[in-house]
Copies of this chain bind each other. A is one copy, B any other.
Amino acid sequence: MNRLITLLSDFGTQDNYVGVMKAVIAQIAPATQVIDLTHQIAPQDIAAARFNLMTAYPYCPPGSVHVAVVDPGVGGARRAIAIALADGFLVGPDNGLFSGVLSQRQALEAVVLTEPRYWRSPTPSQTFHGRDIFAPIAAHLSAGVPFTQLGQSIDPATLVTLEIPPWQHDGEAIAGVVQYVDRFGNLVTTIPAERVPVEGWYIKLEETLIPGGSAYSAVRRGEAIALAGSHGWVEIAINGGNAHHQLAISVGHFVQLWAVPQSELHRAQS
């Protein structure tokens, strides 16, 4: 069976760009299953693409080929690359897109995609490498072409990285930032879920204290709650609401996690 291919882009679904990439894949590797991670990344928002690929990767079948195309530098000097990991492959532009996955897993090998025989044609467009280079490369990988044949080997240490400020100890608290806002308006922070204390805890967001809990419904509708989110980071939500809109908080905002017995938190709020 062919390797599964996932697609992630900022192409949206208004145009035929994604469909055309799938059609190109179907011509090269007809039996390949393709899964869309998302194509609704805001145009050119590499950080959001980085987050979505990083958090989807662990759930995909080992050996999958992940194509990610948020590519404002297409046709310019940025490199077109593929990366081999122990449990999958990454294909796309070298602009930091993959640095989320690579913050959690090691790149074993990397290549610049310099072999036109694995492209759709030897004369790719200068504006749509998703169709002309990345999708065909992924299809060939899926169909069994050896990784090292795809292009010229490069040192993975030279890959462009897009680093997110990591969480850190801040006195008694743990400090982080909001790194992503999802469709529900949930605010995903950079504080790892495993830092959440077993005892009571809360998130401090400006002067507001938001109690830690284990489910949205632990607070009343319309109230804010902090959770160990499904992505693996602490997130802030409003039960039945939209934290992004209602708290007017977005990506980059500073947050603190405080461990505190639930009793004290209640006292602090009253």
Give residues in A with beta carbon < 8 Å to B.
Answer: 1, 4, 6, 8, 11-20, 22-24, 26-27, 30, 33, 35-40, 43-44, 52-53, 55-56, 59-61, 64, 72-77, 125-128, 131-132, 182-184, 214-218, 227-230, 235, 237, 239-240, 242
**Given A26-B61, A27-B60, A76-B216, 20 other A-B residues pairs in contact with their CB atoms under 8 A:** A4-B23, A12-B40, A15-B38, A16-B38, A19-B37, A20-B59, A23-B60, A23-B64, A26-B60, A43-B242, A59-B131, A72-B217, A73-B217, A74-B215, A74-B217, A75-B214, A75-B215, A125-B228, A125-B230, A127-B216
B227 A183 Cβ-Cβ under 8 A: no
Q: Given A38-B13, A61-B30, A183-B12, A74 and B19 touching (CB < 8 A)?
A: no
B40 A215 Cβ-Cβ under 8 A: no
B56 A215 Cβ-Cβ under 8 A: no
| A132→B228 CA distance, assembly (Å) | 15
- From B13, B20, B131, A39 is in contact (CB under 8 Å) with B13
A14 B127 Cβ-Cβ under 8 A: no
B20 A56 Cβ-Cβ under 8 A: yes
Q: Which residues of B are found within 8 Å of A4, using beta-carbon distances?
A: 23, 26, 30
Q: Which residues of B are found within 8 Å of A59, using beta-carbon distances?
A: 20, 23-24, 27, 131
Copy count, this protein chain? 3
- From B15, B55, B75, B132, A16 is in contact (CB under 8 Å) with B55
Q: Which residues of B are found within 8 Å of A132, using beta-carbon distances?
A: 230
Q: How far is the CB of A56 from chain B (nearest CB, A)?
A: 4
A127 B215 Cβ-Cβ under 8 A: yes
B76 A217 Cβ-Cβ under 8 A: yes
Q: Which residues of B are found within 8 Å of A18, using beta-carbon distances?
A: 36, 38
- Residue of A13, A73, A242 most packed against chain B (CB within 10 A): A13
- From B15, B20, B183, B217, A77 is in contact (CB under 8 Å) with B217
Q: Which residues of B are found within 8 Å of A218, using beta-carbon distances?
A: 75-76
12 contacts between A and B (CB under 8 A): A12-B183, A15-B38, A16-B37, A16-B38, A20-B59, A43-B184, A72-B216, A72-B217, A73-B216, A76-B216, A76-B218, A126-B228
